[in-house]
Amino acid sequence: MLEVRTHTCGELRSDHEGQTVVVQGWAHAVRDRGGLAFLVLRDRHGMIQITIDERCSDAVRSLAKQIRLEYVVQARGVVSRRAEGAINEAMATGQIEIVAEELEILGRTEPLPFAIHEHGSDAKEDVRLKHRYLDLRRPALQHNLMVRHRASQAARRALDELGFVEIETPILTRATPEGARDYLVPSRVHPGQWYALPQSPQLFKQILMVAGMDRYFQICRCFRDEDLRVDRQPEFSQIDVELSFATQPLVRGIAEAVIRTIWRDVLGEEIAEIPILTYAEAISRYGVDAPDRRFGMELVDLTPVLADSAFVPIRRALDDQGIVKGFVVRSGAGDTSRRVLDAYTELVRSYGLGGLLWGKVSAEGVSGPLAKATDDTGRPALLAAAGAEPGDLLLVAAGADKPVHTGLGRLRVHVARERSLIGEGFAFCWVVDFPAFEHDEDAGRWFAMHHPFTSPKAEHLPLLTNGDLGEVYADAYDLVCNGLEIGGGSIRIHDPQVQQQVFSALGIEADEQREKFGFLLDALSHGAPPHGGLALGLDRLIMLLTGAPSIRDVIAFPKTTSAQDLMSEAPSPIPAAQLEELHVQNTRGSA
């Protein structure tokens, strides 16, 4: 018979000796020694050993023989101190055991597709995802979900204390141009019309500011139908924040307060003051806009010292207005094989570079492709500029600005990982002063780098109508930690005329502005306070807090890289009748 448990599996200690207790859990280990058997029960809280010996009834002893791994079992018995030699120091409850008076099997299992205990080798990801309920039983994933819970609670408490109000916004919303591909939902009532799932609650939270809510937050789900990565899922969660009368330092301070509370509550760690980098500085020193600052190996500009180089790859790059940059791998000359250098070259090629100019520095000079960059007289200046010394490996790239920065920036992280140069801990930074607009050569037009509701810096507003859009900076900011973008936001446009200017700069004509963003322009025209905010990526925060290698390890029911749920088998075909009701027709094979 099912009883109410008196304790969880993890909480019993020697203080409980002599008490009769009831525990329930999964059979984590079954060790049948014949006349004596041990059963380890596990629940979310821990494990406890149940002992079945000559003190137990025949009924209990025969029932114990039936128990298999991962059966759900209830045990009633007396907490007893273990004999001196039988104490298990590695177990939180290892001082004691429960001598079974009654056992009951509450649930049985089919043979398991993979082992739950940590010592079982990891099954492949598709097997784990298909049986997600088993994968989630593993203590590592349970821990990740607990961290997620505590982080969410900490964020809620921090924001509540700062006067923020939690408000839900719609999941069925309007599709907007720009941005990521939308997930769409057909309307039954309005034939041929569609809802979109929100890529973020951006416009709703701005309108809540116009509505006078003053300070809003929400832990909300966002949906983007784009290809996935190790840190990207089609649906993900944000701690979404917006406030009226916001200045950039005010918003950053609030975000920091949230992050500090989370780190304190979850890890018991204090976060040091968070430095601020400009976008230009981040790109120049680290090659990427989300720098990993736990290690050095910063990029150095070698364009000036190689300005006269006749070496073809460098000459060609410089003649095409390109740049030459590099970084030093300290003492890397001796232990970096040709094979490894070829892999580095392959890596930077994937970012559009023609190749990698490496050089091994010794007292005699430089060996490798980089040797041809200068003659002997120019070499000391090159090495001095790079900061390279004998024994170092110098990795250099020449080409257009973007591939050089991206290629070297990614290579820098790759090399650091490979050589274990990345320390423990968290290196936060803010990245600010982003360009507001990016020019897309293929499309032949400008796109908003952040989003079209981001306010340009006040001093750059005149450039919107009569200047170079590439010179306009956005009043935007990203929060970065350990090379991951964990949050981003901006001061928004609250003046409808400025908003229209930005739309126009993006090539959205007046009638299209009216059609697609009329409700925003209307709202901004009815007493909109200056406002701004940001969103923190909850999933990525949890990855940092838990050290999880994949975003799938911090989401209870994640999808595969092809956006399927292998457990429920979504997406799935839909019966023709249901499609018809929605006024939708398949153009490819249907159910």
Helix ranges restricted to H, 234-356:
248-267, 279-286, 312-319, 338-349
CA distances to 316, 448, 521 from 453, in Å: 40, 9, 11
Tokens of 580: 């018809």
Report the SS3 class of residue 348.
helix
- Work out which of 24, 51, 244, 309 binds RNA, going by CB under 7 A: 51
Q: What residues numbered 264-303 form the site for RNA, per CB under 7 A? A: none
Q: Which of residues 421-440 bind RNA (CB under 7 A)?
A: 438
Letters for 519-558 (x = contact with RNA by CB under 7 A, - = none) are: -------------------------------x-x------
CA dihedral (44, 50, 56, 61) positive or negative: positive
| 387 φ/ψ angles, rounded to the nearest 5 degrees | 80, 30
Would you give the binding string for RNA spanning residues 456-495, x where CB under 7 A is met?
----------------------------------------
Residues 186-225 close enough to bind RNA by CB under 7 A: 199-200, 202, 224
Q: What is the DSSP string of 21-84?
A: EEEEEEEEEEEE-SS-EEEEEEETTEEEEEEE-TTS-HHHHHHHHH--TT-EEEEEEEEEEPPG
What H or E segment, with its residue span, contains residue 481?
A: strand 476-481
Binding to RNA by residue 53, rule CB under 7 A? Answer: yes
Q: Which is nearer to RNA, 119 or 338 (CB)?
A: 119
Residues 83-102 within binding reach of RNA (CB under 7 A)? 83, 85-88, 90-91, 94, 97
Question: Using CB under 7 A, which of the segments 179-187, 461-469, 525-533, 579-587 binds RNA?
Answer: 179-187
Out of 82, 150, 221, 294, the residue judged to bind RNA by CB under 7 A:
82
Q: Does 417 bind RNA (CB under 7 A)?
A: no
CB of 30 to RNA, least distance (A): 7
Residue nearer to RNA on the CB measure, 297 or 508: 508
* Single-letter amino acid, residue 61: R
Q: Does position 18 bind RNA by CB under 7 A?
A: no
Nearest CA-CA partner of 406 in 295, 267, 283? 283
Q: Within a 13 Å sphere around the CA of 103, how many CA atoms are in the beta-carbon half?
A: 31
CB atoms within 10 A of CB 358: 27
Q: Which of 447, 498, 501, 567 binds RNA (CB under 7 A)?
A: 447
Q: Which stretch binds RNA (CB under 7 A): 163-171, 176-184, 522-530, 583-591?
A: 176-184
Cβ proximity of 160 and 139 under 8 Å: no
Integer Cα distance of 229 and 561 in angstroms: 7
Q: Which of 138, 360, 450, 531 contacts RNA by CB under 7 A?
A: 450
CB of 79 to RNA, least distance (A): 12
CB of 534 to RNA, least distance (A): 12
Exactly one of 449, 498, 579, 584 binds RNA (CB under 7 A); which one? 449
What is the smallest separation between the CB atom of 33 and RNA, expressed in angstroms? 4
Binding status of residue 443 toward RNA by CB under 7 A: no
Task: For RNA, give the closer residue by CB, 198 or 368.
Answer: 198
- Stretch binding RNA (CB under 7 A), from 204-212, 491-499, 514-522, 559-567: 559-567
Pick one of 561, 568, 578, 590: the residue that binds RNA (CB under 7 A).
Answer: 561
Q: Which is nearer to RNA, 305 or 436 (CB)?
A: 436
Separate counts of helices (H) and strands (E) for the chain: 16, 22
Cβ–Cβ under 8 Å, residues 73 and 27: yes
Bridge partners (DSSP) of residue 322 are none
Which residues from 350-369 bind RNA, rule CB under 7 A? 350-351
Number of CB atoms found within 10 A of residue 470's CB: 12
**Residue from 31, 188, 439, 445 binding RNA (CB under 7 A):** 31
What proportions of the chain, in percent to the nearest 5, are helix, strand and coil? Answer: 30, 25, 45
Which of 126, 160, 308, 342 binds RNA (CB under 7 A)? It is: 126
- Give 97 or 475: the residue with its C-beta nearer to RNA: 97
Distances (CA, A) of 355 to 365, 511, 543: 22, 48, 33
Of 33 and 339, nearer to RNA (C-beta) is 33
Give the separation between CA 475 and CA 495, rounded to whole angstroms: 15
Query: Which residue from 410, 419, 514, 583 is in contact with RNA, where contact means CB under 7 A?
Result: 410
Answer yes or no whether residue 448 interacts with RNA by CB under 7 A.
yes
Residue 387 Cβ vs RNA, minimum distance, rounded to whole Å:
27
What residue type is assigned to position 55 of the chain?
R
Comparison of 140 and 312: residue with beta carbon closer to RNA: 140
Single out the segment in contact with RNA by CB under 7 A; choices: 50-58, 266-274, 382-390, 526-534.
Answer: 50-58
Size of the site for RNA (CB under 7 A): 75
What span, in angstroms and rounded, lies between the C-alpha atoms of 494 and 215?
16
Q: Residue 96 CB, nearest distance to RNA (Å)?
A: 9
Smallest gap from Cβ 515 to RNA, in A, equals: 17
- Amino acid residing at 157: R
Residues from 105 through 124 that contact RNA (CB under 7 A): 111-115, 117, 119-124
- Give min distance, CB of 90 to RNA, in A: 6
Give the closest residue to 410 by CA, choosing from 329, 306, 291: 291
Site for RNA in 224-243 (CB under 7 A): 224, 226-232
Name the residue nearer to RNA (CB basis): 383 or 474.
474
Cα atoms in the 13 Å half-sphere on the side-chain side of 457: 15
The whole-angstrom separation of Cα 357 and Cα 343 is: 13
| Residue 38 found at the interface with RNA (CB under 7 A) | yes
Which of 181, 264, 294, 516: binder of RNA (CB under 7 A)?
A: 181
What the block records as the tokens of 477 is 């900011």
Examine residue 371 and tell whether it contacts RNA (CB under 7 A).
no
Contact 312, 503 (CB under 8 A): no
Q: What are phi and psi of 282, to 5 degrees?
A: -60, -45
Q: Where are the beta strands (DSSP E) in 289-340?
A: 300-301, 323-329
